Amino acid sequence: MKKNLTQKIIEKHLLEGDMRPGAEIGIKIDQTLTQDATGTLACLEFEAMSKTLSGGSKVLRGGDACRIKTKRSVSYVDHNTLQNGFENADDHKYLRSIAEKYGLYFSPNGNGVCHQIQLERFAVPGEALIGSDSHTPTAGALGMFAVGVGGLDVAYAMSTGKFYFIMPKIVNVKLSGKLTGWASAKDVILELLSRLSVKGGVGKVFEYTGSGVDTLSVYERATITNMGAELGLTTSIFPSDGQTKKFLKLQKREKEWKEISADSEAKYDDVIEINLEKITPLIACPHSPDNVKKVKDVKGTKLDQVIIGSCTNSSLSDLLIVAKILKGKKVKVPAIISPGSRQVLVNLLKMGVLSDIIASGVRVLEPACGPCIGMGCAPNSGGVSLRTFNRNFKGRSGTDDAKIYISGPAVAAFSAIKGEIAEPSGKVPKINLPGKIIIADDLIIKPAKRKKGILVCRGENIKPIQHAVAGTKPSNTITGEVILKLRDNITTDDIIPAGAKILPLRSNIPAISEYVFSKIAPDFVKRAKKIKDSPRFAGEAGGIVVAGENYGQGSSREHAALCPKYLGIKAVIAKSFARIHKSNLVNFGIFPLIFRDISDYEKISVSDKLEIENVGDITSKTHLVVRNTTKNMSFVVTHDLTERQVKILLAGGLLSCR
């Protein structure tokens, strides 16, 4: 049978299940990645799974502990790079010691953003990667099957080498022609977002094929696969071809290249056609990546700031274009660049173009996520900022009333020079990547040989997770009160915001839980705690959250499930869920339930008391009856959980599921 590329890779890794869209399968995982904002928790979970935690002691002696079961697992420090206090530094020390003890690679602070480095130094065509970051699919640019997941799934893969997920539908995105003028790879993915919206890719893989594929470099492909996360896709993938070989050769990793692509008459579940010739510069307007317009339609919008960077557009080729545009010019508004990796920075320096960027008045930050996750450079009140990032959710920049636009690097560079959103003009510069680059990976610490006496450093900021995740089996009727009723497309940033103030608490669940829904419902925590502690419910009841479509889109942060769990949330009833967040809810024992009849959403109000009956029968029944005792009415909820997920839920979460 003719196969597409996704089927080929999954089949090669298949351990359990049937590769039918919608069915759960288990695959072997070759590589994992974690970053510091999700990785500390993932490593704590890994330790808990590996049963190496001994009675809360701060320092463990090791040597006999289990090692990771994957071929390559990399632990990155790239998100929590501001060190305003001891917290982040302590977490980083913990991560480094875990890497040494269990056999992970460790990429320290200043080395760059995980996805850029994974692409440069670790991704291998045809292999399978999961990462505790939603943009892990960036590695699909190299023909890798790469999926973003919650930390617990990574911890599980590091302990067992396995990953379970729902077999997605595979869509053939057929590219023809080639990009012309100032159109860039960013505009291709913005075009898809404008056609399909932020929930258009849920349950799907986008596999890129067609003659247009050959015209895109790996750097360009990576921009497209990276932002597939914004469509809600399971992943995106390009074939491994001549462009891939060229990239790996440049990275002095030619030996890891192999050709891999779909069979010529392979079948797909759907087809989308894009003629690259027709793509023009696009821009996502506030406050969603799918609010896409033509640059020419918003040009002239005054800007307060421009930032070029993030894992979407911070590669060597992106910054070379920017340097060419900025050469000899001055920026009119504060402009900032954060290179994707130290390798990118070192090569810009060697090629003599960093000086063009600096001379134009641009501030150069260290290679890290930085402003993309609200780690500094927040805009002024009501400020308008144009960024080359992938997300422009309200408040994510650190300034709640700022307006964030998203574009490709050329639009951003021209706009910085004009001080307003501007269309690129003039002759498109030709970017010649050098035949050889400096391979600046010397900061990466390779896995140490197994040895005794490695100390795991657990700073004061790292609180034990057992009490937070300890799953109690749900009783047969979940009794609860609706604490919050939400709109469509609630992001995990809405559930638990990031930013320089909250991020350092990622390894301290009691402390970070104080910020759940803090931006959109400041009294949520108080109300959740009141219900949780109410003697009326005798510890059995909890809060229930009601939501619209695509609940939990965006970041993979499992804190968006774990913290509500800590606050006593028992169930989320939504019109639909985003993939990663749904798995995270299951992993922490919160029921993700779906309205059978969407109109029932309208009939629920905040403070209604609900009883979800016969939860213990959920295995056999896809329907559960919910009694609204406040309004004296009932409605039906369904679920699309697999048997394995039901087992996890009924055990109270993955860590309690043996």
Binding site for ligand SF4 (CB under 6 A): 79, 113, 133, 135, 310-311, 369, 372-373, 390
234 lines the binding site for ligand MIC (CB under 6 A): no
CB of 37 to ligand MIC, least distance (A): 3
Return the number of the residue (554 or 652) whose C-beta is nearest ligand MIC.
Answer: 554
Measured between alpha carbons, how far is 318 from 431 in angstroms, rounded to an integer?
A: 9
135 lines the binding site for ligand MIC (CB under 6 A): yes
CA angle 5, 8, 10 (to 5 degrees): 110
CB of 383 to ligand MIC, least distance (A): 20
Whole-number Cα distances in Å, 224 to 68, 142, 586: 31, 12, 29
CB of 135 to ligand SF4, least distance (A): 5
CB of 496 to ligand MIC, least distance (A): 8
CA angle 123, 102, 78 (to 5 degrees): 50
Query: By C-alpha distance, which of 198, 129, 152, 195 is closest to 554?
Result: 198
115 lines the binding site for ligand MIC (CB under 6 A): no
284 lines the binding site for ligand MIC (CB under 6 A): no
The one of ligand SF4, ligand MIC, none whose footprint includes residue 92, by CB under 5 to 8 A per kind, is none
Q: Which of 498, 516, 586, 624 binds ligand MIC (CB under 6 A)?
A: 498
CB of 38 to ligand MIC, least distance (A): 4
Return the number of the residue (156 or 414) whose C-beta is nearest ligand MIC.
Answer: 156
Measured between alpha carbons, how far is 198 from 231 in angstroms, rounded to an integer?
A: 4
373 lines the binding site for ligand MIC (CB under 6 A): yes
91 lines the binding site for ligand MIC (CB under 6 A): no
216 close to 234: Cβ distance less than 8 angstroms: no
Return the number of the residue (107 or 159) whose C-beta is nearest ligand SF4.
Answer: 107
Return the number of the residue (28 or 79) whose C-beta is nearest ligand MIC.
Answer: 79
DSSP code at position 631: T
37 lines the binding site for ligand MIC (CB under 6 A): yes
Q: Which of 288, 556, 584, 587 binds ligand MIC (CB under 6 A)?
A: 556
68 lines the binding site for ligand MIC (CB under 6 A): no
Bridge pairing between strands 609-612 and 542-547: unpaired
| 3-state SS class at 603 | helix
Residue with tokens 């309200």, as numbered in its chain: 394
Using the contact rule CB under 6 A, the part of the chain among 13-21, 133-141, 332-340, 456-464 near ligand MIC is: 133-141
The one of ligand SF4, ligand MIC, none whose footprint includes residue 557, by CB under 5 to 8 A per kind, is ligand MIC
Q: How many CB atoms lie within 10 A of CB 501?
A: 13
- Restricted to residues 515-554, the positions that interact with ligand MIC (CB under 6 A) are 554
* Burial class for 427, CB neighbours closer than 10 Å (0-12, 13-18, 19+): exposed
Return the number of the residue (303 or 308) whose C-beta is nearest ligand SF4.
Answer: 308
The one of ligand MIC, ligand SF4, none whose footprint includes residue 121, by CB under 5 to 8 A per kind, is none
Non-local CB neighbours of 387 within 8 Å, separated by 6+ positions: 306, 307, 308, 309, 310, 371, 372, 404, 405, 406, 407, 412
505 lines the binding site for ligand MIC (CB under 6 A): no
Question: What stretch of H or E contains 88?
Answer: helix 86-102
| 3-state SS class at 625 | strand
Start-to-end C-alpha separation, the chain: 38
Measured between alpha carbons, how far is 394 from 387 in angstroms, rounded to an integer?
A: 14
Query: By C-alpha distance, which of 128, 127, 158 is closest to 65?
Result: 158
The one of ligand SF4, ligand MIC, none whose footprint includes residue 608, by CB under 5 to 8 A per kind, is none
CB of 377 to ligand SF4, least distance (A): 12
The one of ligand MIC, ligand SF4, none whose footprint includes residue 310, by CB under 5 to 8 A per kind, is ligand SF4
CB of 200 to ligand SF4, least distance (A): 19
Return the number of the residue (13 or 559) whose C-beta is nearest ligand SF4.
Answer: 559
Return the number of the residue (563 or 593) whose C-beta is nearest ligand MIC.
Answer: 563
Whole-number Cα distances in Å, 10 to 130, 145, 658: 13, 8, 26
| 3-state SS class at 644 | helix
The one of ligand MIC, ligand SF4, none whose footprint includes residue 38, by CB under 5 to 8 A per kind, is ligand MIC
223 lines the binding site for ligand MIC (CB under 6 A): no
Phi, psi dihedral angles at 64 (to 5 degrees): -105, -5
Bridge pairing between strands 569-574 and 542-547: parallel
Return the number of the residue (78 or 608) whose C-beta is nearest ligand SF4.
Answer: 78
CB of 615 to ligand MIC, least distance (A): 30
Dihedral (CA of 364, 88, 109, 372) sign: negative
CB of 555 to ligand MIC, least distance (A): 3
Q: Which of 13, 387, 557, 579 binds ligand MIC (CB under 6 A)?
A: 557
Give the CA diameter of the chain.
73
147 lines the binding site for ligand MIC (CB under 6 A): no
Count of residues that interact with ligand MIC, criterion CB under 6 A: 12
Two structure tokens written together for 438: 């400096």
Query: By C-alpha distance, which of 70, 122, 282, 272 is closest to 186?
Result: 282
555 lines the binding site for ligand MIC (CB under 6 A): yes
Q: In DSSP terms, which residues pair with 445 in a beta bridge?
A: 106
Q: Which of 87, 91, 133, 207 binds ligand MIC (CB under 6 A)?
A: 133
CB of 75 to ligand MIC, least distance (A): 13
Query: By C-alpha distance, which of 5, 418, 542, 533 is closest to 244?
Result: 5
Binding site for ligand MIC (CB under 6 A): 37-38, 79, 133-135, 373, 498, 554-557
